[in-house]
Structure 1
């Protein structure tokens, strides 16, 4: 029964419900600007992975053991300013790093090919992700300046929406704290619930009572670390930092 329901939802609804809005796309960066005191420009989404505990798999069991010693799936998602999920992949074992999942995703392929929901759009990720022209982690190339500090604060307070999204998603669907299923069907359940989550947001919305203007400790962000970044990515990073 679960398999049939998930199959129906994924085949008929997922592509329409879990995507960047094609209408009113310019409202996305405006709403993201409101999530931080400084206002982070041109944000199209925030990306992160979340571990969903599952039963010990019967095949390749060791690859599903995450850093906490649990068996899990690492589900990678991108959300918008209203917590709506724009992208999801839920097929990777819990031992796999977020950055590797993103590198091997259709999302990365699409954005590397030049697609954007609006001009100059970027996605914010944490320090686990490498710098790309379209993917901005909390890093600074060069000395830490007042502009850079404001950039880091705005980055972290804006990016917090994806962590909040996961919290709301798991509170709404407590089974996501532990799916007593094998990886294949567990991944399908995660996709299905993400789709249902978006449908509910579209119908009812989600009231936000979070104070997005909290001050954050940014020391742990390793602000000067930029590895393997191409010149176009560094140029875009410097351009964004200059806006602060």
Structure 2
């Protein structure tokens, strides 16, 4: 009996970080341990209260009893240390299994997640590892789940989920300028060739981007709710983006109320007001909601229906083939990151970095956002000449209609 008691006491002391402990110190240690471990989760539970009172009222002699020591050892052994992985959580078990497919749960392949983790600049010296924080963030972003649901899925506190989501989003946001950027030099030639392939006509090699907007659903704010009510009959904020021929986003602008027209959003964005893109001799493709311009930036839009000639109809078909890449890019973004696009968000500056994170994350995987009011203010102090692009569009339409191969007999003769 004495040998059994000594063994239990040794295990209890070892689990509590003690190598040696006298009988005079064992009783307070056990009382404190039982006090913490036996605190009932439901304060209105009389059974738990009676059990706790029973343990805390033990005398010094009862504390040496084998049953009490066994209970203390059992309770202490079942403590989960801080930030220790719980391998029984399904999502973590899948992540730790190197052969499992993560796409149904995190919307990304395993290699894409590894690329994202490697690209993040911050290091973790305590708490959860960077891998777990990124997985937690992607799970929240992909499932449009509340912090409570994510906390339940990972077996961690809700406050930790909130802290991790904002921490990782800030880290991804720090990479925005290097990830979402405008092409330069030889990259422009590659983008132009890509749009020519999409359009099915070499005339579209001058196109170096496609522009469009979409609506991010929000909850009606308490002030000026009518300004956020869009033509699709729900409250939203505007999101404008420019992408290349692969669907990679080159520029983004978010924050205008949903009732604002696409053309006004464009005119107040940095890419228009600062004439950032496209360069001279190039153009970007837009739908009928945008004006056809050559200055301050060049935007080519389709002819209005009904068209006046087969040349215009042919141009519209090729234009649509090339421009629809931006719609596909938005479609993939909405499907992948449901947390932003499939649930209503509060109109708050805190959610804006999360929206930008979606774009930066996608570009990290596949390899300007106005955070303040300065980028959205209309500045008319310096008037810019707006030049209609109808003439350029007519030349582009004529170039589209030119056959790629001439009949040799026609080439050999001069025609008056």
Q: TM-score range by the shorter chain?
A: 0.7 to 0.9
Match for residue 411 of structure 2?
none
Structure 2 residue 199 is matched with structure 1 residue 43 = no
Paired with 1:118 and 1:63, the residues of 2 have a C-alpha distance of 34
Aligned-partner Cα distance in 2 for 1:33–1:87: 21
Cα distance in 2 for partners of 1:65, 1:121 equals 35
Match status 1:120 vs 2:284:
no
Deviation at 1:96, TM superposition (A): 1.0
Q: Deviations over 1:92-111 (max 9, x none)?
A: 11111111000111011233
1:13 paired residue number: 175
User: Any residues of structure 2 matched to 1:1-244 within 5 Å, and which?
Assistant: 1=163, 2-10=165-173, 12-22=174-184, 24-39=187-202, 40-111=204-275, 116=277, 119-133=280-294, 134-139=298-303, 144-175=308-339, 176-202=341-367, 230=387, 233-244=389-400
In 2, Cα distance between equivalents of 1:65 and 1:99: 17
Change in 2 beyond 3 A, CA 1:108/1:75: same
Greater helix share, 1 or 2? Answer: 2
Once the two structures are overlaid, the 10-residue window that deviates more, 97-106 or 115-124, is 115-124
CA–CA separation in structure 1 for the residues paired with 2:348 and 2:266? 19
Kept after mapping to 1: 8 A contact 2:182/2:277: no
SS in structure 1 at match of 2:316? helix
Counterparts in 2 of 1:5 and 1:57: CA distance versus 1, 3 Å: farther
C-alpha RMSD of matched pairs (Å) = 2.2
Residues 80-119 of structure 1 show CA distances to partners (whole Å, capped at 9, x for unaligned) of 11110011011111111111000111011233xxx55555
Q: Secondary structure at the match of 1:129?
A: coil
| Post-superposition offset of 1:8 | 3.7
Structure number having the greater strand percentage: 1
Is the 2:271–2:277 contact (alpha carbons within 8 Å) kept by the matching residues of 1?
no
Q: What TM-score do the two structures reach when normalised by structure 1?
A: 0.79
Do the aligned partners of 2:287 and 2:302 also contact (CA within 8 Å) in 1?
Answer: yes
What is the alpha-carbon distance in structure 1 between the residues aligned to residue 219 and residue 366 of structure 2?
30
Q: Quick one: distance in 2 between partners of 1:87 and 1:16?
A: 12
Preserved CA contact (<8 Å) 1:28 1:80 = yes
Distance 1:187 1:92 in 2: 12
1:214-237, Cα deviation, whole Å (9 max, x unpaired): xxxxxxxxxxxxxx9736x23322
Aligned to 2:6: none
* TM-score for both structures, normalised by structure 2: 0.48
Gaps of 5+ in 2: 1-162, 368-384, 401-416
- Cα distance, 1:28–1:49 mapped onto 2, change above 3 Å: same
Q: Distance in 1 between matches of 2:283 and 2:169?
A: 31
The higher relative CO (CA closer than 8 Å, separation ≥ 6) is in 1
User: Quick one: distance in 2 between partners of 1:124 and 1:139?
Assistant: 12
Aligned residues: 212
Aligned partner of residue 350 in structure 2, secondary structure: helix
Give 3-state SS (helix, strand or coil) of 2:357's partner: helix
Offset at 1:76? 0.5
Residues 18 and 198 of structure 1 are in contact (CA less than 8 Å); yes or no, is this contact kept in structure 2? yes
Offset of 1:178 from its aligned partner? 2.0
Distance 1:186 1:195 in 2: 15
